Amino acid sequence: MDKQLIVFCNNYRRELESLNLKESFSELDIAYFPNRCGLPPIEWSRLRESIPNLDNYQQLHIISCGSINGLSKEQTIIGCNCSNDTRQCYHLLTNPDLAGYYIEQGYFLVTPGWLASWPDTLAGWGFDQPQAIQFFKDTSRAILLLDTGVDSSAEKKLAQFADYVNLPFKSLKVGLEYLKLLLTNKLLKTRNTSNFATEQVNTTKIQRGLADFAMTLDLLDQLARIREEGAVIEKIKEIFTMLLAPQIVKYRPANDKKEAGHLKQEETTDSFTIQITGNSGLLGYLEIIKVNQPQFLDQYKKLADRVINICALAIENAHHYQLIKDLSDTDDLTRLANRRRLDEQLREEWRRMQRNEKPLTVMMFDIDFFKHFNDRYGHQAGDDCLKAVAAVLANYCRRSGDLAARFGGEEFVLILPEVKETNAVIIAENIRKEIEGLKIAHDDSAVSKYVTMSIGVVSQVPTTEMPAEKMIAAADKALYKAKETGRNRVVIAD
């Protein structure tokens, strides 16, 4: 049996140990080289000298990630190259399309291994804390941990690192399924099976394994590019229909209690239920009902078992996409929509209302004398005030098209489709009273002893003469008039 060697960055030692690849590949050894993140690449000739008995291996796989120079073309390289900014080592842990999406949204991705020595890494970059804060401020909007589950203290280290560089942070459980799939597929493909020519059973087993992984990778490729969970589910149902030819394929999410009793029923001779479990726990159930050839039910179950983990991975990837999208569309402090999401929603509702010839209402809010509030009570009290106001506005968003957003500073916007002017005035006045009714003390306000808001409102059926941008401008002009004429009042745009 040909011996194989994987040369891996030390940051991933715990992941490799958790995978226990030697259980399936007894001919495999693993060597590690020191983390080179952010440092000049090491020469392969120098690294080669540190690997004992290298000539004993017939297959050599190197996880280079751009950290090794001088590799010959004959070398098999798993993973990707950091010199290409869309391909970095964390693409080994999750689908490259998903990792690329995180990066596009401005997240600095870290792994448990990287976090284990982040102070040394920053020191190696020559950064003190002010330099690190400036660097990450210029390059990232938040820190995102791809949590493989190998280090129970990873989230604590994440919080420490994020605090050090003064950025918000988030953790996503990606597990080891994707890394296992990549490595196992590579090892199966490169394993020299010539030594097994006389062992037909083993040869057949290897060929079956290669076929299974080829199919699994093909399924993963089909699913990986789908970002909406509903579309992922439909694709999974389509794949199982193709593989097993049942009359019906049903998906039930784990939180769907309506069918819980049904799912516990005993399986029949032509139907069965598969449990879909991911890194975050139980995701749902897939019901395969009335397969075309019931005599092969056991084989169908085995085939389903081989691909169901990939389906779980795709569903969780869709969850991750949605989470990152929500984070990128949300104001960090108030949890309302941010300016980007506001612009998107306003354009979308403007087009919809124009098409349906229905009125669109836009309200703009400004907390009265908020600078004086901050100066007197401090910025923490100011943040608490903004959150309280945001909570009131969020309560007025009860339909899919409604949106409350933070426009900037102490200004907010509310979008209410299909609300005509008379109703808009009533809603705005209710909000004004509710804000003052919070009784947040404001001793430096010239209009009340409590926090109040001025509100500008525009409401009309969208036309080409009044595009979305002009509606915002009209609401802003009405807000200015409300402030100019005494504050703590509602003014309708002309």
pLDDT, tens only, 269-289: 889 999 998 877 899 999 999
Residue-averaged pLDDT of the chain: 83
Least confident of 84-93, 140-149, 314-323, 482-491: 84-93
Task: For residue 264, name the pLDDT band (cuts at 50, 70, 90).
Answer: very low
Q: Does the pLDDT at position 266 exceed 60?
A: no
* Count of beta carbons in the 10 Å neighbourhood of residue 242: 8
Residue 427 tokens, joined: 């809603």
Phi, psi at 31, each rounded to 5°: -120, 155
- pLDDT, residue 484, reads 95
- pLDDT, residue 71, reads 66
Element (H, E) at 247: strand 246-253
Q: Does the pLDDT at position 199 exceed 50?
A: no
Q: Residue range 401-428: average pLDDT? A: 95
Residue 208 tokens, joined: 């079956």
Q: Does the pLDDT at position 126 exceed 60?
A: yes
Task: For residue 325, name the pLDDT band (cuts at 50, 70, 90).
Answer: confident
Tell me if residue 259 is catalytic: no
DSSP letter, residue 492: E
pLDDT digits (tens, 9 = 90+) for 243-252: 788 889 999 9
Q: Which of 15, 177, 410, 436 is catalytic?
A: 410
Task: For residue 388, name the pLDDT band (cuts at 50, 70, 90).
Answer: very high
DSSP letter, residue 40: P
DSSP codes joined into one string, 117-171: THHHHHHHTT--HHHHHHHHHHH-SEEEEEE-SS-TTHHHHHHHHHHHHT--EEE
Domains of the chain, each with CATH number or no CATH:
1-84 (no CATH), 193-325 (3.30.450.40), 339-492 (3.30.70.270)
Phi-psi region of 96 (alpha: psi -120 to 50; beta: other; left: phi over 0): alpha
- pLDDT, residue 76, reads 47
pLDDT digits (tens, 9 = 90+) for 445-456: 999 999 999 999
| CA dihedral sign of residues 415, 417, 422, 427 | negative
pLDDT digits (tens, 9 = 90+) for 84-93: 443 467 777 8
- pLDDT, residue 162, reads 93
Which residue in 216, 379, 385, 398 sits closest to 310, CA to CA? Answer: 216
Q: Name the 3-class secondary structure at 404.
A: strand
Whole-number Å distance between alpha carbons of 449 and 461? 38
Q: Does the pLDDT at position 367 exceed 50?
A: yes
Share of the chain above pLDDT 70, in %: 85
The pTM of this model reads 0.59
Q: Residue range 51-73: average pLDDT? A: 71
| Cβ contact 457:363 at 8 Å | yes
